[in-house]
A and B are shown apart, each in its own frame.
Chain A
Amino acid sequence: EAGVVQSPRYKIIEKKQPVAFWCNPISGHNTLYWYLQNLGQGPELLIRYENEEAVDDSQLPKDRFSAERLKGVDSTLKIQPAELGDSAVYLCASSLGGNADTQYFGPGTRLTVL
C-alpha cells in the first residue's frame, strides 16, 4: 500500500513569488491534514479536510495561504506571495477517519524562501 505522497520534496524560491505543494493521501483516507514544521519544533496544523470540506482552517494565514481538496482525494496548498518567514517543512498527513484515528505523514516539502 502506497503511503502519503508529496511533491515537490524541495523548493527554493525568491520572496514574493508564489509556490504550491501537492499531496495525495493514502487510498481510502477521508481526512487530510496540512502541517507546518519549523526547525526544532513539532508540526503544527494548518488545515484539516474531511473529504472535500475544510473543517478546521483557523490556523491557516488566509491572507497569503490557500488550500483546496476539490474531489476529496488529493490536495494543494498554495502560498502567494511567499515571505522569508515561510521557510519551513510543509507536511501532509491522512487518516481513515477523524482526529482520534492514526495519522500517517508524507515525506514533506522543504521550502526555502530567499
Chain B
Amino acid sequence: GIQVEQSPPDLILQEGANSTLRCNFSDSVNNLQWFHQNPWGQLINLFYIPSGTKQNGRLSATTVATERYSLLYISSSQTTDSGVYFCAVTSYGNNRLAFGKGNQVVVIP
C-alpha cells in the first residue's frame, strides 16, 4: 500500500514562532487531508488538499502532487496548536485513507 512519511516527528516551538511540517507519500493520490489531534484525542479536520494551496487563518497548506509531498505551515504558533498533526492520503485504486505517524508539536509559552 501507499507509504506516508511525516517529518519532523517531534517539534518544540516557542509561542509566536513559525513552523513547517512535511508529508511525503509514495504514490499518486486523490485525497490528502491534514488533521490536528488535540490532547483530548479529537481529530480535527484542517485541510482537504490533494493539490494546490489553501489558507485558513494562521494555518496554510500546499500539496505538490507531481512531487508527492505536502507541507503544513503554522504561523505565529499558540499553545493551543499543541498536539499531533496527521497527514492522510488515499491513492487511486486503493480506497483506504492511509495515515502517517504524525508530527508531535508542543508550543511552550
State the A residues within 8 Å of B (CB).
Answer: 33, 40-45, 48, 55-56, 89, 91, 93, 98-105, 107-108, 110
Contact = CB atoms under 8 A, between A and B. Distances in A.
A42 B101 contact: yes
Interface of B: 30-31, 33, 35, 40-45, 48, 50, 86, 88, 90, 95-97, 99-102
A45 B41 contact: no
26 contacts: A41-B99, A41-B101, A42-B88, A42-B100, A42-B101, A42-B102, A43-B86, A44-B99, A45-B96, A45-B97, A48-B95, A48-B96, A89-B41, A91-B43, A98-B95, A99-B90, A102-B45, A103-B45, A103-B97, A105-B35, A105-B44, A105-B45, A107-B40, A107-B41, A108-B42, A108-B43
A107 B99 CA distance: 17
A107 B90 CA distance: 22
A100 B90 contact: yes
B41 A108 contact: yes
Given A48-B95, A110-B41, 19 more contacts: A33-B97, A41-B101, A42-B86, A42-B100, A43-B86, A45-B96, A45-B97, A56-B96, A89-B41, A98-B95, A99-B96, A100-B30, A100-B31, A100-B90, A102-B33, A102-B48, A105-B44, A105-B45, A107-B40
B39 to A, nearest CB: 13
A101 B42 contact: no
Nearest to B35: A105
Contacts of B86: 42-43
A110 B43 CA distance: 14
A43 B89 CA distance: 12
Contacts of A107: 40-42
